[in-house]
Amino acid sequence: MRAHYRSPLNAEPVSVDAATLERHGVHFRHLELDPTTYQPILDELKAKSGYGTQDEVQLSKDTANLAAIMKKFDDEHCHADDEIRFVLSGEGVFDIRDGADRMIRVLVEPGDLIVVPRRVNHRFELTEQCAIHCIRLFKDPSGWVPSYRASPPPP
């Protein structure tokens, strides 16, 4: 896992470990990509936490309207439900706001499972690879509607 406090320009980033992420409610773990092993783990997480819906998203430089799609993720926002992503291929970066209003930058790569807690501000961007394929889990897709930081958080 590569995570650090996002630092100002020309400053050294401060590394963050999994325990620090957990203290901020962000769950992160790496799973094997063997299709026979990761789906049962996702099914267990869905059953345990009440996530009823699963879908897949693929983004790349060839995705139609990629700039417009990424604009929705790039602006800092939160959701009424947790945001759960399991990366199958490619990579991306989550910037997640901590309790002290600092950003923690987390690189997600193939096999990484991240759970950003509900009502925690965050943003997402692709890396220079410009490609990601991930599974998303939802309690209810309507709970995943973004509430941008300029607006009040969802109830």
Predicted confidence (pLDDT) per residue in 92-116, tens digit: 999 999 888 888 999 999 999 999 9
And the tokens for 92?
């991306």
In a domain, 120, yes or no: yes
Higher pLDDT, 52 or 143: 52
The model carries a pTM of 0.85
Taking alpha carbons only, the member of 53, 2, 49, 55 closest to residue 30 is 2
Q: Is residue 9 part of a domain?
A: no
Could you tell me the residue range of the domain that residue 96 belongs to? 15-141
pLDDT-derived band of residue 64, with 50, 70 and 90 as boundaries?
very high
Q: Which residues contact 66 (CB under 8 A, 6 or more apart)?
A: 59, 60
> 3 in a domain, yes or no?
no
Determine contact, residues 32/112, Cβ cutoff 8 Å.
Answer: no
Q: Is residue 124 part of a domain?
A: yes
Tell me the sheet residues that pair with 135: 56, 86
**Of 107, 35, 92, 95, residue with least CA distance to 59:** 92
Phi, psi torsion values for 30, nearest 5 degrees: -105, 130
Paired residues of 125 in beta bridges: 93
CA angle centred on 45, ends 41 and 50, rounded to 5°: 150
Tens of pLDDT along 124-139? Answer: 999 999 999 999 998 8
Res 3: pLDDT: 77
Residue 113 lies in a domain: yes
Q: What is the pLDDT of residue 11?
A: 61
CATH number of the domain residue 89 falls in: 2.60.120.10
Q: How many structural domains does the chain have?
A: 1
HEC string of the chain equals CEEEECCCCCCCCEECCHHHHHHCCCEEEECCCCHHHHHHHHHHHHHHHCCCEEEEEEEECCCCCHHHHHHHHHCCEECCCCEEEEEEEECEEEEEECCCCCEEEEEECCCEEEEECCCCCEEEEECCCCEEEEEEEECCHHHHCCEECCCCCCC
Tell me whether residue 149 is in a domain.
Answer: no
